Amino acid sequence: MKESISPKHQFLEVPPGYSAHEKPIEYHYNFSSGEKFEAKEQSDGTVKIVIEKDRGIIFDFAQLLPRGYKFVSYPYIAHLEEKVGEEIPWIGWSAMPKWKLIQIGEWESAKDIVGLLHEIGHVINYEKEEQDIKEAGNEHRSFTLKKEEGKYIHDPDLWVLFQEDLAKAISKTERNAWTYSIMLLRRLKRKLKIDFKDIFPDAQSVKDIINDELSTYKKSYEWLIEKDTEFANELRKLFNNKG
C-alpha cells in the first residue's frame, strides 16, 4: 500500500507515451537532520542513488556494489535487449548477476531503501549461495526425468521433492539478503550519523516489511502442501525472518 505523498516526497509525472514500468525514476526524501536521499534516472538509463547534505554527495550507494555492477532503469534494459539480441525480463527491484545489474523499480516510499539494500545483499551473496540454486536445479532435473513411450517426462514424485528443495534454497537466500540489508542499514547509520527513525520508527517496522516480502514467497510454494501435507509446517518455518 502506497503512502500518501508529503512535501518530503517528490515524483515525476508519467510523461505522454510512457507506461507505468517506463516511468522515469526520480525520488527524493528529506531527513529531519538535513540530509536528502535521491534516486534519479540518468540519460544513459543508469540510476544514481545517493545521500546529499549541504548540496554535496556524502554517500553513493554504488559504493556498496561489487565491481562492474550498476543500478538501472527500464530504458537501460530495453537498450541492452537490442544490443545483445536477447530478451531480458523487466521485473523491477531485481538483482541480475548475469548482467551485473540491479533493476530499480518504482519508488513508493522511503521505506524502499531497505528493499534496495536487500537487492544489494543478493548480488553480494550470489557467488556463495545463489549459484548453489542453479547447480541444485540442474542436478535435480537430471534425475527427475523418466522415459515413457519413448519420451522423457518429469517423475511427479521426484519433481515435488525438487520443488521442496528449491523452496529451502530460496528461503535461505532471501533470509540472508534481508539480514544483509539490515546490516547495511546499521552501517549507514553509524557512518553517516543519520537517524533512520524518520523512516523506520522501531525495529518492528523493518520486520513488518521483511515479513510481508517473505510471505509472498511462502504463498508461491503453498501448492506443494497439496502434494505433500507434511511439508506444511516446514514451509511456515522456511519463510520466517527469524529463520
Pairwise CA distance, residues 39 & 47, whole Å: 7
pLDDT along the chain (243 residues), means of 10: 33 42 83 93 95 94 94 93 90 89 92 93 78 61 57 64 72 82 90 88 86 72 60 61 50
List of residues 6+ apart from 76 with CB closer than 8 A: 44, 45, 46, 70, 101
pLDDT of the residue at 151: 62
Question: Residue 10: enclosing H or E segment and its boundaries?
Answer: strand 10-11
pLDDT of the residue at 103: 95
Task: Tell which residue, 92, 84, 118, has the closest CA to residue 214.
Answer: 118
Which grid coordinates belong to 70?
550498476
Q: Please give the model's pTM, rounded to 2 decimal places.
A: 0.74
Task: Tell which residue, 103, 101, 117, has the closest CA to residue 37.
Answer: 117
